[in-house]
Amino acid sequence: MESFEKMKRVIADIQDDVDKTRGGNKAAGTRVRKAMQDIKNIAQDVRKEVLEVRDSPTP
């Protein structure tokens, strides 16, 4: 599930920007919104991977 690992990395990477956004930094807010869009797309990939695992024949 490499997509799930990628999602965890993206979330960890934006932690500083989330904190800066709370402090009122608008540029950091823009970066957080972009990262959240990326996470949405990665989440769709995770869903696809889960379905592939579910539908694959069990050895």
Q: Label residue 1 by pLDDT band (50, 70, 90).
A: confident
Global pTM reads 0.82
Q: Which domain holds residue 38?
A: 2-55
Count of C-beta atoms within a 10 Å radius of residue 6: 15
Residues 48-56: contacts with CB under 8 Å, at least 24 apart: 49/1, 49/3, 49/4, 50/1
pLDDT digits (tens, 9 = 90+) for 17-58: 999 999 999 999 999 999 999 999 999 999 999 999 999 887
Q: Domain count of the chain?
A: 1
8 A C-beta contact, residue 8 and residue 40: no
